[in-house]
Structure 1
Amino acid sequence: MKILMVRTMKILELLSDLVEFETVNDPAKGIKPSKDCPKFVMDILSSWGIETELIEKDGYYAVYGELGEGKPKILFMAHFDVVPVNREEWNTEPFKLVIKGNKAYGRGSADDKGNVASVMLAIKELSKMDLEGKVLFAVTGDEEIGGVLAMHIAEKLRDEGKMPEYMINADGVGMKPIIRRRKGFGVTIRMPSEKVKLKGTLKEQKFRINTPIVETRHAAYFLPGVDTHPMIAVSHFLRNSNVAVVSLEGKFLKGNIVPSEVTLKYLEVGDGEEIEVDLGLTRLLKAIIPLVRAPIKTEKYSDYGVSITPNLYSYQGNKHVLRLDIRAMSYSQEAIETTLKEIIRFNIPNAEITIRSNEKAGYLFTPPDEGIVTTMLKILEGFDQKAEPVEGPGAADSRFFTPYGVKAIDFGPKGGNIHGPNEYVDIESLKVLPDVYKEVALRLIKG
């Protein structure tokens, strides 16, 4: 127990330092992580005698390194960037690690700085050993906005003939090997404003998120039928009311973060004063219901099916802009584009639609009897961590390596409130994670 307490103290100290770096990625506001956090990671690893290099791509940074000799066997990857915070919803300072009982609170504690700290400590122990194969590791700073650095590293390893046989993408949660994850697609719909004056009564109503089972704001975790999405609720309200929209405001943060609250100003048509409304915005918001229920065909099975959430709204250049986050087991966006265009032609024919996805990214789909999965399960059992392979709701950087035949899983400690307020990591699971990663690497290297 004393050894575990010392190890816990070290990992919590390292995690505390990492959380204090405000590595927020928010392209809409021009915010990106500085070089400070990756420089800190490099300095710590260097103090342990581990050489690394700093990789830069489009102003974003990653730390990359190698241990051992011979054929690359396994790659560890994690990310230090985090999503924006709505400080009003936090009970603690988001960028300070606050320990309460067995939980350590802070932005990035679970997604994904707890994993960064664990990989670093595992690499430290592996660096002391004579390895029978090469261990690669990388910590990236743009996973939350698409993972271009992961894609760049995948191409670099391909070109250098260093593509590993296995990958542990340390970007999971729950202490369970994640063997399936869907690909993400971004959809932007632009609807022209159409302002007219109508008579009626001006009213205002707030619509709030409700996640009664799993507290999160991550779009991929949103479960229709259980959770309430404010924007979908607005659409349902409009489709069942004789009203016209005046304006829409909300706590919009990011394309894959469900807004916690939106405020709808609308005119209840009838007798009353003359007020300017926007019929374009009214039609756009009404179209959300058929859009999120689009019957998109996929290539592989998923526990979560297809997720479609409308998480960002803005007004730009006399057009209303709505952004949807889509998760599906599909490489191609053709089926998605065909289906959504049909819905738009029927509901909002004068709207424009664009769909964005990374053609070089796939999805994670590793058979449960694959060696990396069975090895992880055996190692976990040795640490009294009973687990079974599962599907993870969100996408991850492993999708850039699976198209090259790399056998991958995503993994991480127990925790909660991913992308939401009061994000936390479970300390008991975190303290064994470095040893889990070390033992899995050693087992896979030996084959």
Structure 2
Amino acid sequence: MLELLKELVAFETVNDPSKGKRPSKECPLFIKDTLESWGIESELAEREGYYAVYGEIGVGEPKIMFMAHFDVVPVNLEEWKTDPFKLTIIGDRTYGRGSADDKGNVAAVMLALKELARKDLKGKVLFAFTGDEEIGGRMAMHMAEMLKEEGNLPKYQINADGIGMNPIIRRRKGFGAVVEVPPGRVKIKGGLKERTFKISTPIVETRHAAYFLPGVDAHPLIALSHFLRSSNALAVKIEGKFLKSNVVPSEVTLTYVEPNGADEIEADLGLTTLLKTVVPLVRTPIKAEKYSDYGVSITPNIYRFEDGMHKLYIDVRAMSHSPENIKSAFEEVLKFNLPNARLIFKNNPRAGYLFTSPESPLVKAILKTLEGFGERVKLIEGPGASDSRYFTPYGVEAIDFGPRGGNIHGPNEYAEVKSLKILPKVYEKIALELLRA
């Protein structure tokens, strides 16, 4: 398990379209070739420059599908204590980008398939390893549509994209919003100053926007907004370690003018008003359709000046299928605070949220399996979204699952060795339990 994970982590499969980075063909080819060396046939699929590995073992009706992704989020090397693309074992932890999200799961599913392929299976097991989950999962979406058209959808899905060795039976849906405003440059008398706002996650060390917990964690852009709203300062510019729309920046630096100084300085009223509006934006009154432990999450994670406009990219998580209600709630906030803003709302209508009953045979099978390994488990909700959301609208019962670990999307991401070592056997046993059902 650790040797396979070491090889997978060494592939720099960063997905960062803003910088032109995407996983190459090398990692999926490695997965495909390794499976074929074990006698498991698969095919390499490609769409818009992104790759996936898909295959089937067994015969008969499609009963279960395993899915995991090999792409990873960008890294800020300054924050890492080890080489993020070299698996480093310290004590019971394996450090490396993707060790927990999601190459540890890729390796575990591969090894489970190796064992399952040797058995006389009473039903078909489907599997897929995708390379674009971190930017929306279009490969998984196309795969779900393809299987639906072919009449080959599985009854159950184990989306190996979880953490904590606890079955995830609920996940919210993700939405996106972009707020654009033009500059409004003015010259005023004042003093030029600078202030840096840093992230604080005192309980759970992560940068994943879905894990951000207001009241416990401090978001740099929200703190910056509160500062501007509580002072007479006018923004000149902001810079920050902006990585991805669902990754909270570790720090943001505001250059601003404090009025009543001697120097004539150019400030930006458009940028100032946009930044002041961050606080009401993250408190937008969104009504969800189903209960969620995490409620609704709204985090502004990227700022850019593009095409002559100030642009703020906002990550939204809610247990909802109603994009129009969410959009109208944002429009109400902007109408009051930023009437000249343009709102671009992003929603994938083919994606849903994950909500699987605890009484599902899939859930019962995984609980029975984990108890057999001496694991103390509980059914939980995952904060973010996952590719299982493309299958649940078709009636596929799904769970997300993965090893114990931490710092997902953040520096020094790790997975615990003990859970990694039993993970392949867990996946194998769950599959056999469901195939017997």
Q: Report the TM-score, using the length of structure 2 for normalisation.
A: 0.99
Asked if residue 385 in structure 1 is aligned to residue 375 in structure 2, the reply is: yes
Give the distance between the partners of 2:92 and 2:167, measured in 1 at CA. Answer: 22
- SS of residue in 2 equivalent to 1:111: coil
Task: Identify the residue that residue 6 of structure 1 maps to in structure 2.
Answer: none
Task: Identify the residue that residue 33 of structure 2 maps to in structure 1.
Answer: 43
Task: Identify the residue that residue 321 of structure 1 maps to in structure 2.
Answer: 311
Give the distance between the partners of 2:108 and 2:350, measured in 1 at CA. Answer: 28
The 5-angstrom pairing of residues 271-310 of structure 1 reads 271-310=261-300
Asked if residue 126 in structure 1 is aligned to residue 111 in structure 2, the reply is: no
- SS of residue in 2 equivalent to 1:442: helix
Task: Identify the residue that residue 233 of structure 1 maps to in structure 2.
Answer: 223
* Structure 1 residue 317, shift from structure 2 partner: 2.1
Unaligned runs of 5+ in 2: none
1:208 to 198, 202, 211: 198
Task: Identify the residue that residue 4 of structure 2 maps to in structure 1.
Answer: 14
Task: Identify the residue that residue 430 of structure 2 maps to in structure 1.
Answer: 440
1:60 to 17, 41, 50: 50
Task: Identify the residue that residue 372 of structure 1 maps to in structure 2.
Answer: 362
1:199 to 178, 189, 198: 189
Give the distance between the partners of 1:389 and 1:287, measured in 2 at CA. Answer: 37
Task: Identify the residue that residue 237 of structure 2 maps to in structure 1.
Answer: 247
- SS of residue in 1 equivalent to 2:265: strand
Give the distance between the partners of 1:103 and 1:266, measured in 2 at CA. Answer: 43
* Structure 1 residue 332, shift from structure 2 partner: 2.3
Give the distance between the partners of 2:308 and 2:263, measured in 1 at CA. Answer: 25
Task: Identify the residue that residue 3 of structure 1 maps to in structure 2.
Answer: none
Task: Identify the residue that residue 330 of structure 1 maps to in structure 2.
Answer: 320
The 5-angstrom pairing of residues 173-184 of structure 1 reads 173-184=163-174
* Structure 1 residue 215, shift from structure 2 partner: 0.2
Query: Residues 61-85 of structure 1, C-alpha deviation per residue, up to 9 Å, x if partnerless?
Result: 0000001000000000000000000
* Structure 1 residue 12, shift from structure 2 partner: 0.4
Query: Residues 21-63 of structure 1, C-alpha deviation per residue, up to 9 Å, x if partnerless?
Result: 0000001111110000000000100000000001111110000
* Structure 1 residue 367, shift from structure 2 partner: 1.2
- SS of residue in 1 equivalent to 2:102: helix
Give the distance between the partners of 2:423 and 2:262, measured in 1 at CA. Answer: 64
1:396 to 386, 389, 393: 386
Task: Identify the residue that residue 149 of structure 2 maps to in structure 1.
Answer: 159
Give the distance between the partners of 1:408 and 1:198, measured in 2 at CA. Answer: 58
* Structure 1 residue 117, shift from structure 2 partner: 0.1
Asked if residue 411 in structure 1 is aligned to residue 401 in structure 2, the reply is: yes
- SS of residue in 1 equivalent to 2:370: helix
* Structure 1 residue 357, shift from structure 2 partner: 1.4
Question: Aligned AA for 1:85?
Answer: V
* Structure 1 residue 394, shift from structure 2 partner: 0.9
Task: Identify the residue that residue 28 of structure 1 maps to in structure 2.
Answer: 18
Give the distance between the partners of 1:288 and 1:378, measured in 2 at CA. Answer: 46
Give the distance between the partners of 1:317 and 1:143, measured in 2 at CA. Answer: 28
Query: Residues 315-370 of structure 1, C-alpha deviation per residue, up to 9 Å, x if partnerless?
Result: 01221000000000111211110000011011111110011111100000011121
- SS of residue in 2 equivalent to 1:435: helix
Query: Residues 355-389 of structure 1, C-alpha deviation per residue, up to 9 Å, x if partnerless?
Result: 11111000000111211111111100100111010
Question: Aligned AA for 1:55?
Answer: A
* Structure 1 residue 184, shift from structure 2 partner: 0.5
| Number of residue pairs the alignment of both structures matches | 437
Give the distance between the partners of 1:68 and 1:224, measured in 2 at CA. Answer: 47
Give the distance between the partners of 2:232 and 2:346, measured in 1 at CA. Answer: 35
Asked if residue 109 in structure 1 is aligned to residue 106 in structure 2, the reply is: no
Give the distance between the partners of 1:53 and 1:317, measured in 2 at CA. Answer: 41
1:264 to 246, 254, 257: 254
Give the distance between the partners of 1:427 and 1:377, measured in 2 at CA. Answer: 21
Query: Residues 224-282 of structure 1, C-alpha deviation per residue, up to 9 Å, x if partnerless?
Result: 00000000000000000111001100000000000001100111111321100000000
Question: Aligned AA for 2:341?
Answer: A
- SS of residue in 1 equivalent to 2:36: helix
Give the distance between the partners of 2:195 and 2:215, measured in 1 at CA. Answer: 22
Give the distance between the partners of 1:132 and 1:264, measured in 2 at CA. Answer: 61
Task: Identify the residue that residue 363 of structure 1 maps to in structure 2.
Answer: 353
Give the distance between the partners of 2:406 and 2:394, measured in 1 at CA. Answer: 32
Runs of 4+ aligned residues of structure 1 deviating over 3 Å after TM superposition are none
Give the distance between the partners of 1:88 and 1:413, measured in 2 at CA. Answer: 26
Please, which moves more after superposition, 327-336 or 133-142?
327-336
Give the distance between the partners of 1:234 and 1:164, measured in 2 at CA. Answer: 47
- SS of residue in 1 equivalent to 2:101: helix
